[in-house]
Amino acid sequence: MKQKLLQHAEIPPLHATGLHTRYDVHPLWKEADPQAFLAGHGHEFIGYVTTARFGVSEAMLAALPNLKVISSFGVGTETLPLAAAAARGIEVGYTPEVLNDCVADTAFGLVIDVARRLSAADRFVRHGGWLKGPYPLATRVSGKRLGILGLGRIGQVVARRASGFDMEVRYHNRSPRPDVPYPYEASLMSLAAWADFLVVVIAGGPETSKLVSAEVLRALGPQGFLVNVSRGSVVDEDALVQALEQGVIAGAGLDVYADEPRVPERLLALEQVVLLPHLASATRETRQAMADRVVQNLDAYFSTGKVHSGVSTTG
């Protein structure tokens, strides 16, 4: 008999995996009244499939009294109720490692794009600007200083990408890492003041909310660029818009925003900003690998009692 799982939202790549052949999956997103459905049927499900974007609310967890395992599509954990899950002994799985390369590629693509103004130059050609004169000079990337906020799995891949451009790399974490060759900056302010490019790959959540503040942006300075592929919450978006409008920093490359998919109109109006629709991991290969890991986590739990890639549920 197939184990009964509840799926929060549609995840197209999962259709190519064994999720729907090996499990009895109910699509919650198709319910006209999800709360009423959960009130009547929440006790039937022992597994829950979700995404890093939607996570699991405390109310949802309470409506699933027999839940034993959560498998989340993504690496963000700020939307997962880790402490509540730990209290109930619920295993929580996510999809680390398999998206490191593509997220790092996107981060470095933004570094190059915002410095060399490639997207803006494309618009310049398309709109006939080249017929009227040459495109303005941009900023060199090779040999510059790259500061990384959050030298975790993805941050380390970004650092390796930087070596191909002969860039000097430093980083800031809550504490230094003895296993990496890059110099540690004791504060984010000092890292920003040193860097030509500040790449944000730190986890989201209350502890990092608006960590990149107006003061940090001033330290980055008028020749500095900000790149964010982590979470929009990590950057004070109002301060960033103001810093860009006033020339406090040179530009920004953004894949994430405070209120996705809504992007502030003032950001849309700025030419020195590259705006992506949260696509850092959005390649066929990576999304399939993430989808496969969602299923691997479930398979591992139902065979061993532990997910394949588990999130610490200590809160």
- 3-state SS string for 202-240: CCCCHHHCCCECHHHHHHHCCCCEEEECCCHHHECHHHH
In this prediction, residues 40-67 reach a mean pLDDT of 95
8 given a catalytic annotation = no
Question: Model confidence at 313, in pLDDT bands (50, 70, 90)?
Answer: low
In this prediction, residues 123-148 reach a mean pLDDT of 98
Closest CA to 104 of 256, 229, 289, 273: 229
Q: At 292, phi and psi to the nearest 5?
A: -60, -40
In this prediction, residues 288-296 reach a mean pLDDT of 93
In this prediction, residues 163-191 reach a mean pLDDT of 97
pLDDT at 13 over 60: yes
7, 25 Cβ separation under 8 angstroms: yes
CATH superfamily of 100-275: NAD(P)-binding Rossmann-like Domain (3.40.50.720)
In this prediction, residues 153-172 reach a mean pLDDT of 98
Q: Do domains 4-98+285-304 and 100-275 have the same CATH topology?
A: yes
pLDDT at 44 over 50: yes
pLDDT at 122 over 60: yes
The CATH architecture of the domain made up of 4-98+285-304 is 3-Layer(aba) Sandwich (3.40)
- 3-state SS string for the chain: CCCEEEECCCCHHHHHCCHHHHCEEEEHHHCCCHHHHHHHHHHHCCEEEEECCCCCCHHHHHCCCCCCEEEEECCCCCCCCHHHHHHHCCEEECCCCCCHHHHHHHHHHHHHHHHHCHHHHHHHHHCCHHHHCCCCCCCCCCCCEEEEECCCHHHHHHHHHHHCCCCEEEEECCCCCCCCCCCECCCHHHHHHHCCEEEECCCCCHHHCCCECHHHHHHHCCCCEEEECCCHHHECHHHHHHHHHCCCCCEEEECCCCECCECCHHHHCCCCEEECCCCCCCCHHHHHHHHHHHHHHHHHHHHHCCCCCECCCCC
Work out the percent of the chain whose per-residue pLDDT is above 90: 93
Token pair, residue 46, equals 């022992």
Q: At 171, phi and psi to the nearest 5?
A: -145, 165
pLDDT at 63 over 70: yes
Rounded Cα gap, residues 302 and 91, in angstroms = 11
Could you read off the pLDDT of 206-253 as tens digits, one per residue? 999 999 999 999 999 999 999 999 999 999 999 999 999 999 999 999
Question: Model confidence at 1, in pLDDT bands (50, 70, 90)?
Answer: confident
Rounded Cα gap, residues 164 and 167, in angstroms = 8
pTM of the model: 0.92
pLDDT at 14 over 70: no
**Domain boundaries along the sequence of the chain:** 4-98+285-304, 100-275
Residue 225: strand pairing partners = 197, 251
231 given a catalytic annotation = yes
Looking at 31, 58, 245, 260, which residue is catalytic?
260
Name the residue with higher pLDDT: 21 or 148: 148
Rounded Cα gap, residues 206 and 260, in angstroms = 17
Rounded Cα gap, residues 157 and 166, in angstroms = 15
Question: Model confidence at 315, in pLDDT bands (50, 70, 90)?
Answer: very low
Rounded Cα gap, residues 298 and 49, in angstroms = 9
CB atoms within 10 A of CB 18: 13
pLDDT at 37 over 50: yes
Sheet holding 69-73, edge to edge: 24-27, 4-7, 47-51, 69-73, 91-93
In this prediction, residues 263-274 reach a mean pLDDT of 97
Looking at 170, 172, 231, 287, which residue is catalytic?
231
Token look-up 């509840």 returns 6
Mean pLDDT of the chain: 95
140 given a catalytic annotation = no
| pLDDT recorded at residue 49 | 96
